[in-house]
Structure 1
Amino acid sequence: NPAAIRLVNEQIQRAHQRAVDALLDIKICDPAMGSGHFLVEAVDYLTDRVIRVVNQYPQDDPVLAMLERIRKTVFAEMERQGIEINPARLDDTSLLMRVVMKRCIYGVDVNEMAVELAKVSLWLHSFTIGAPLSFLDHHLRCGDSLIGAMARGVQKEFLGELTLFGSPFEGVLTAAKTMQEISLSSDATIADVENSANLYDFFEQAARKYKRVLDIYLMQFFGFKAAGEFLLLFGSEAINVSLDKLGKDHRQLFQDHEKFHGEKKIFHWDLEFPEVFIDLEQTAWREDAGFDAVIGNPPYVDVTADKYYNQSYSAASSRNLYSYMLERSGVVCRAGSMLGMIVPMSLVCSDRMSILRDWFKSNYANIQIANFGIRPAKIFPDVDQRVTILVARKKKESAETTKVFATRLNRWRDGEEQTMIANLSFSDITKLPAQFGWAKLFRQEKRVSDYLGKDWNFYLHTIGRYWLKAYDFEPTYLEASGKSGRSSTLVELSAQSEEIGKVIIALVNSSLFFWYWILYGDEFHLTPEEVKAFPFTYDKGHKSIYKKLAQAADELMKDYKEHSVLKRGKYPTGTITYQEFYPRQSKPIIDRIDDLLGMIYGLEIDEVECVKKYDLQFRTDEEE
């Protein structure tokens, strides 16, 4: 029965395609890809995992069958050209790498040169004898990942429609099918690559009018008053409106649009990568729209939160591009997807980033945070930046419970990186900061801030590194002219009394406070706010201990001075002479201070000893 045989063959073919899709329908994106290093690693990782799976079931495996078809096509093309190649050079791994690169990998960068370099990185890494360079323009795009509108949201706001079929955005469906066709092409021959390029040109032409409407939608946030009026006036006709129907203001809007789009490098995610956001079978926006994983190392740049950022980002007040990039990544990835980013450690310890942390807790269910210092060694040798490697899973539903796990601030010496990474230990910190640190500390009803006043001045050194320092004197600081001055890293505070002030000085110089600061701080800056927030209650029952702490503070100040040296440093303003201290030389006095603080906070002897030895192997006297 030919009809029955044909039906069975079609069912087998569909089953094979479903099997291929199950393995290769993974979508990984780097929204700030630079020259593509993360994407190259992603290609290797995904290729390796797929090869492991298919090698477990080699008999009639549809992926291996697909690779064999590509191999035969390449051989046939080489034979047509009279070129002989070694069959071993077209192994399954090499061919699969090309498929993964073209089908599964997405990247965006605002710099056109970076986009071209990313293509070169991937081409060099996946170079296959006999096969042409794959077409990558469809998935490696130039644009500003942070500035753009989602077509689905604009469609709902102005048109009240959620389906694509029969709507003004129906043409997007055709574009999505075109982009999918490009992704599925093997590019085994030059003709295949040329066809991919032609399909991409068709997509760009078809999507232009839709992108224009979204550009105009954005323009209202950048001072173009006519933009909002235009969309309200034309509604669903905005996509196909002709220039002869426009008044003077709206005609000017169209002219301004081209310049606006080019200067801002607008990037509308669901129109640039439509196959990620559109369900081709249901002709509707995908319910599981978005990438399966977003990875990268976004730029760390402070910015001014203008109207657009304030409107578009929950964490706009954090005022840093990496913060906005994290939030955008959360928007363009699907529920249950994974996020992996390298960001500054300010994510976990800066007050300014608290709103971003709250956003993460609302949107992600499983958050893992690994923190890395820069002394004595760095995780990235050429980057003088304390970093956090963040891995998180997006919630599948809003009610899902959030769990947060973090490492300590990791330190290591050169050559110990692999051992340190292999032994990373994560602790559940979900309930922090309410139960941050020892409960014995946080039983205190008050904070240091409750005992600051105007009666007795002392000084705080706001650069931490290995030792934290507070003084009852102002360290020597001579300007180039010989005139006495004050270092910009010295802050003056006041306590309610001399005794309380000296107790606070002892506290700040202690290893107990250093432990607290490593948990809360950024391993570099010591802010007055961190000192003020430390748990401390001035209990009259500890009067004798306070007296001993004040005496220990006096001894410490004297010892600091005795071990200090005057150094000179050259700066643009001239040569500065400053007093440098070596706290490690005063460690016995600091240990006595910790013993006394242990009595106040009710710490056990072994707990105090742990504090005194905390990170001691890395705490040198270097003041670099």
Structure 2
Amino acid sequence: MDEELAPYKYLCNLFTHYLLGEIDESDFLWEVESWSSPCEMFTILQGESKKSQKVLASLNSKDFFHWDIEFPDVFYGDNSGFDCVIGNPPYVEQSELNYKPLVRKTEKCGSTYAFLFELSLSILKDIGEYGYIIPMSGISTTRMSPLQELLTGNSKKINIANFAVRPSKIFPGVDMNVSIITGTKGNSSKQQIKTTGYIRWYSNERKRLFESLNYVLCTEFIKNGIFPKLGTEKDRGILSKLSKIKRNISDYVDNESSRIIYYHSGGRYWRKALEKKLSSHYKPLPIVDFAYHPILCALNSSLYYWYWITFSNCYDLVSRDVLDFPINLENIDHHILWQFSELAHNLMKDYEENCEIRLRTKSGKTFEEKNYYPVKSKKIIDEIDNLLGTLYGLDESEIRYICNFESRFRMKDNDL
């Protein structure tokens, strides 16, 4: 830093300490008045003023970083700021910090990567470029809505690449799904937001991974807390059809109903819903009688798995992921209801015939654990997807795409 800027950094440090409550108001005001006098300021900086000695002790205890003081050339002019900001911020919860971050827009996110994203946009010039690596939850959970609103409100263009943690990791040692966000700061009136799908790959494909990235426009499908992950125009077309349906599973929930579906987060490549509760991890979903079998089928379908991958953090299955799934069963043909009933019965029977019972020991106690393998019931699940396809108005190629979605990863007999 230029020596000529030392007095200005002193003043900035002074104000920062005052904001943090580390010096009282009278000392702060005295220092500000002294700062306006060059002679007195020189005395303060030399540590010769008795009144300033205790303030100096506090000021010297921390070395604050002031961007405009450290980079005066960058922050001088009409369009001040850096041309480009990139980073891989720490994924640390605010509760683990021993200080309170001075952020305004992302404080409720409660995570340092959101705070640093806010900072990066504040020091970036208009039409400047940014690039950040963050957990995928940053673009797919309501908790991170303030971060998403910050991005959409300050970006002319956003591209989001989404990488799975299995079968191979994008970064060795980082055992989580991550998103790489690149964008251009600017007016959001004609904004373009594009995403990739949920990218899985094997280790021998790493060299070609970034060459094969395909971004698809998703702006019209963004909803509170979620940027959908769309990898192809086929994904976009299917989502467009589902988005036109104005009813969802929540419309068929009846807390007084005895017809209960149980769902849970287990399994990486399949979503599974059952008629019986196997453990405390299964969550109840009471459904009106006539909609019970169609919804039971839907929650076991590849279409629902595709929907969950598109809108979730690809790790947890939360109630919103279930209740928001679009489905319209009003005025549904009785023959179609019967088909769903038959398929639901056949699927549950097939699950039981292909399940395995294992002995597990926990806390010194041995118990039985029943494991289901949906991959072994793929033929029935395909029949369900074909029936759902007609319900949603999907064409033959779209139904085939859903049935084969991620098949090179999902068609393993070891996934629960």
* Aligned-pair CA distance for 1:347: 2.4
Q: Call closer, same or farther: CA 1:293–1:569 in 2, change over 3 Å.
A: farther
Find the partner of 2:78 among 287, 294, 303. 287
Provide the rounded CA distance (Å) in 1 between the counterparts of 2:381 and 2:319: 21
Find the partner of 1:273 among 71, 77, 80. 71
Q: Is 2:242 aligned against 1:450?
A: no
Aligned counterpart, 2:119? 328
Q: Does the Cα contact within 8 Å between 1:340 and 1:392 map onto a contact in 2?
A: yes
Q: Does the Cα contact within 8 Å between 2:156 and 2:188 map onto a contact in 1?
A: no
Aligned counterpart, 1:463? 266
* Aligned-pair CA distance for 1:302: 2.0
Provide the rounded CA distance (Å) in 1 between the counterparts of 2:414 and 2:115: 36
Q: Does the Cα contact within 8 Å between 1:464 and 1:524 map onto a contact in 2?
A: no
Provide the rounded CA distance (Å) in 1 between the counterparts of 2:385 and 2:378: 10
Provide the rounded CA distance (Å) in 1 between the counterparts of 2:12 and 2:136: 35
Q: Call closer, same or farther: CA 1:540–1:269 in 2, change over 3 Å.
A: same
AA partner of residue 416 (structure 1): E
Aligned counterpart, 1:529? 320
* Aligned-pair CA distance for 1:349: 1.5
Aligned counterpart, 1:118? none
Q: Counterparts of 1:134-145 in structure 2 under 5 Å?
A: none
Provide the rounded CA distance (Å) in 1 between the counterparts of 2:120 and 2:380: 50
Q: Does the Cα contact within 8 Å between 1:294 and 1:333 map onto a contact in 2?
A: yes
Provide the rounded CA distance (Å) in 1 between the counterparts of 2:184 and 2:77: 20
SS at match of 1:274: coil
Q: Counterparts of 1:139-218 in structure 2 under 5 Å?
A: 175=1, 178=2, 203=3, 209-218=7-16
Percent sequence identity is 29
Find the partner of 1:599 among 390, 401, 407. 390
AA partner of residue 267 (structure 1): F
Q: Does the Cα contact within 8 Å between 1:459 and 1:493 map onto a contact in 2?
A: yes
Provide the rounded CA distance (Å) in 2 between the counterparts of 1:524 and 1:366: 27
Q: Call closer, same or farther: CA 1:571–1:329 in 2, change over 3 Å.
A: farther
Provide the rounded CA distance (Å) in 1 between the counterparts of 2:84 and 2:117: 12
Q: Does the Cα contact within 8 Å between 1:231 and 1:238 map onto a contact in 2?
A: no
Aligned counterpart, 2:335? 544
Q: Call closer, same or farther: CA 1:573–1:490 in 2, change over 3 Å.
A: farther
Provide the rounded CA distance (Å) in 1 between the counterparts of 2:251 and 2:286: 11
CA-to-partner distance for each residue in 1:530-576, whole Å, 9 max, x for gaps? 11111122212333323321332222222212211123456567666
Q: Call closer, same or farther: CA 1:425–1:448 in 2, change over 3 Å.
A: same
Q: Counterparts of 1:504-519 in structure 2 under 5 Å?
A: 504-519=295-310
Provide the rounded CA distance (Å) in 2 between the counterparts of 1:547 and 1:307: 61
TM-score (norm 2): 0.84
Q: Is 2:110 aligned against 1:319?
A: yes
Q: Does the Cα contact within 8 Å between 1:441 and 1:535 map onto a contact in 2?
A: yes
Q: Does the Cα contact within 8 Å between 2:360 and 2:368 map onto a contact in 1?
A: yes
* Aligned-pair CA distance for 1:590: 0.8
SS at match of 1:389: strand
Find the partner of 1:430 among 219, 230, 239. 219
Provide the rounded CA distance (Å) in 2 between the counterparts of 1:423 and 1:465: 23
SS at match of 2:333: helix
Q: Is 2:145 aligned against 1:354?
A: yes
Structure 2 gap ranges (5+): 229-235
AA partner of residue 409 (structure 2): F
Find the partner of 2:401 among 591, 602, 610. 610
Q: Counterparts of 1:212-611 in structure 2 under 5 Å?
A: 212-224=10-22, 226-227=24-25, 231=28, 235=32, 237-238=34-35, 240=41, 242=44, 254-259=56-61, 261=62, 266-277=64-75, 285-304=76-95, 308-309=100-101, 312-395=103-186, 398=187, 401-433=190-222, 437-454=238-255, 455=257, 456-475=259-278, 486-487=279-280, 489-497=281-289, 499-569=290-360, 577-611=368-402
CA-to-partner distance for each residue in 1:502-522, whole Å, 9 max, x for gaps? 322211110111111111122
AA partner of residue 218 (structure 1): T
AA partner of residue 288 (structure 2): Q
SS at match of 1:493: strand
Q: Does the Cα contact within 8 Å between 1:567 and 1:579 map onto a contact in 2?
A: yes
Provide the rounded CA distance (Å) in 2 between the counterparts of 1:307 and 1:401: 38
SS at match of 2:133: strand
CA-to-partner distance for each residue in 1:63-104, whole Å, 9 max, x for gaps? xxxxxxxxxxxxxxxxxxxxxxxxxxxxxxxxxxxxxxxxxx
Q: Does the Cα contact within 8 Å between 2:161 and 2:195 map onto a contact in 1?
A: yes
More helix by share: 1
Aligned counterpart, 1:39? none
CA-to-partner distance for each residue in 1:216-274, whole Å, 9 max, x for gaps? 433455454725x6556665645739589898xx9765544444x2xxx6322222333
Q: Counterparts of 1:19-34 in structure 2 under 5 Å?
A: none
* Aligned-pair CA distance for 1:373: 1.0
Provide the rounded CA distance (Å) in 2 between the counterparts of 1:399 and 1:599: 38
Q: Does the Cα contact within 8 Å between 2:198 and 2:310 map onto a contact in 1?
A: yes
AA partner of residue 608 (structure 1): I
Provide the rounded CA distance (Å) in 2 between the counterparts of 1:533 and 1:306: 38
Q: Call closer, same or farther: CA 1:288–1:350 in 2, change over 3 Å.
A: same
SS at match of 2:83: strand
Structure 1 gap ranges (5+): 1-174, 179-202, 278-284, 476-485
Provide the rounded CA distance (Å) in 2 between the counterparts of 1:315 and 1:468: 32
SS at match of 1:266: coil
Provide the rounded CA distance (Å) in 2 between the counterparts of 1:492 and 1:222: 48
Q: Does the Cα contact within 8 Å between 1:466 and 1:621 map onto a contact in 2?
A: no
Provide the rounded CA distance (Å) in 2 between the counterparts of 1:222 and 1:459: 50
Q: Does the Cα contact within 8 Å between 1:221 and 1:308 map onto a contact in 2?
A: no
* Aligned-pair CA distance for 1:608: 1.3
